[in-house]
Amino acid sequence: MVDLGADWLHVDVMDGHFVPNLTLGAPVVASLRKHTDAFLDVHLMVTNPENWVKDFAKAGADMYTFHLEAAAAPDDAHSLCPDTPHQAVADLCAGVRRAGMHAGIALKPATPVELVVPYVAAGLVDMVLIMTVEPGFGGQSFMPHAAAKAALLRSKFPDLHIQVDGGLAPDTVDRAAAAGANVIVAGSAIFGASQPAEVISALRASVTAAATSGKPAH
């Protein structure tokens, strides 16, 4: 994928608990690191994401993105608010950075984007991942209303990395790019294409066009 034009390699990690699917873990990331210098962007769809920071740092991950919904204990998730950082989430962000990785926070489609604002405002995260499908399985349809969350973040934080993941393809990426997304994740659209390099090029072109047309995407 890197040879075909991808800037980052996005690795989904699922535990069969936070989401119903079960996928690869730190050993696969470690194996990838042996074969590439590419930026390894790891998306943790797991319960208790604090338990895996050291493993993925040791494996060579560059970005450690965990779900806001999982970082607070289930019986304490109600205390997430748009005004002040939740201590457990803030501590996890700090722990990720201490381990030598960039910290990212992911949001499910139904999670209000305002809940991530205090962490960005406090300088605790390097990227926000907006899910435009329900996490857990590939091949789902893009949810444009979820992508619209990027617009609020971009208006408040012009330099923030905003990643959009789910159902992205040449015919859907413009909505995400126009809203302010500058990091695009695509799976099925690339791996199912006869010319994957052309798909990667089209996705990049959409983000570039949004940026040069006066949109704040990067």
Catalytic option among 3, 12, 76, 159? 12
Is 95 annotated in a binding site? The answer is: no
Is 214 annotated in a binding site? The answer is: no
Is 43 annotated in a binding site? The answer is: yes
Is 167 annotated in a binding site? The answer is: yes
**Is 12 noted as a catalytic residue in this protein?**
yes
Is 67 annotated in a binding site? The answer is: no
Is 145 annotated in a binding site? The answer is: no
Is 138 annotated in a binding site? The answer is: yes
Is 91 annotated in a binding site? The answer is: no
Catalytic option among 15, 41, 62, 165? 165
Is 126 annotated in a binding site? The answer is: no
**Across the beta sheet with 127-131, what order do the strands follow?**
8-14, 39-45, 63-67, 102-107, 127-131, 161-165, 183-185
**Is 83 noted as a catalytic residue in this protein?**
no
Is 165 annotated in a binding site? The answer is: yes
State both tokens at 81.
């608010």
Binding residues, by number, are 10, 12, 43, 136-139, 165, 167, 187-188
Binding residues for substrate, by number, are 43, 136-139, 167, 187-188
Catalytic residues: 12, 165
Binding residues for a divalent metal cation, by number, are 10, 12, 43, 165
